Amino acid sequence: MTYLLPKTPGGVPEKQSLLFGKAPVIKRKIGIKPYLCARNSRPKEMKRIFCPKCDNQMAFDETRFPQGKVLAFVCPQCGHQFKIRLGRKVVRTKDGELEEVKEADFSKGYISVIENSFGYKQELPLVEGDNVIGRRNKDTDGVDVPIITSDPSMGRKHCVIQVKADTEGKYIYSLRDFPSLTGTFLFNTLLGKNERVNIETGAIVTIGATTFILHTADE
């Protein structure tokens, strides 16, 4: 089992991994070699996980470890310890049972969130029907497309993109405000109250201080 811990005073460990956030004071476990936690370096491909207790976001380079490897983490925010197994795509339901997580389906289109000071670049799939988009929060239900961000001006339920197939099977996309406190902008134009507009691939939508671009299924 591998523990991802902060750098120790004794020197730089031989291997490196990543764990972002303020490092807690942790005692070294005998027989376990800790890995260096880098705060400022960020490779292109990172696996992001959330603390199951406080929902703090962490990231590490999963390519440094083999599939099936069990990794133990210490949350730098609340100190909670938890484990994950690489390649195991399961989650624990409210009933305590393990449920398999299906691979993301981008066949109905997706949105690409532009990186800013509040969050990183993300590509989030859409489903047929109403897609409620907003700021991710573990205590908020009913959000179909949760954006991982600290943007305070984005609502937890901010806007809705509806994906609907026409008689020929082609998907039609429409946008409306949820409603939200700061409004939804399409190409810098504020949508009116209860206004719904059709959008096509390349549509630029801004919610709060965050912007995303629509990519349709036929792109």
On whether the CB atoms of residues 175 and 199 are closer than 8 A, the answer is yes
Beta pairing, strands 70-74 & 2-4: parallel
Q: What is the mean pLDDT of residues 47-59?
A: 80
Task: Report the C-alpha gap between 124 and 47 in whole angstroms.
Answer: 15
3-class SS of residue 50: strand
Report if residue 105 sits inside a domain: no
Domain tally, the chain:
2
**Average pLDDT in the 52-75 region?**
83
Percentage, residues of the chain above pLDDT 90: 45
Q: What is the pLDDT of residue 150?
A: 92
Q: What is the DSSP letter of 128?
A: S
Average the pLDDT over 187-203 and give the result.
Answer: 96
Question: How many CA atoms within 13 Å lie on the side-chain side of 76?
Answer: 17
Same domain, 132 and 195: yes
67 and 7 share a domain? yes
Q: Does the structure show a pLDDT above 50 at 43?
A: no
Tell me the pLDDT tens digit for each residue of 158-173: 999 999 999 999 999 9
User: Is residue 190, in this structure, part of any structural domain at all?
Assistant: yes
C-alpha distance from residue 80 to each of 73, 136, 205, 210 (Å): 8, 21, 37, 30
Q: Is residue 102 part of a domain?
A: no
For residue 1, the model assigns a pLDDT of 53
The boundaries of the domain holding residue 126 are: 110-215
- If asked whether residues 26 and 78 sit together in one domain, one would say yes
| Residues 114 and 74 reside in one and the same domain | no
Q: Please say if the pLDDT value at position 207 is more than 90.
A: yes
Q: Does residue 123 sit in the same domain as residue 159?
A: yes
* Residue 117 and residue 83 in one domain: no
- 39 or 48: which leads in pLDDT: 48
**Span 131-146, pLDDT tens digits:** 999 999 887 788 999 9
Domain boundary at 91, 119, 143, which?
Answer: 91
Residue 27 lies in a domain: yes
73 shares its domain with 163: no
Q: Are residues 71 and 42 in the same domain?
A: yes
At residue 46, the pLDDT reads: 75
CB 205 within 8 A of CB 211: yes
Confidence category of residue 24, pLDDT binned at 50, 70, 90: very low
Asked whether residue 44 falls in the same domain as residue 8, the answer is: yes
Q: Are residues 144 and 196 in the same domain?
A: yes
Q: 81 with 120, same domain?
A: no
Residue 127: pLDDT band with limits 50, 70, 90: very high
Q: Which two tokens stand for residue 167?
A: 């008689």
Query: Higher model confidence: residue 92 or residue 132?
Result: 132
Q: How confident is the model at residue 102 (pLDDT cuts 50, 70, 90)?
A: low
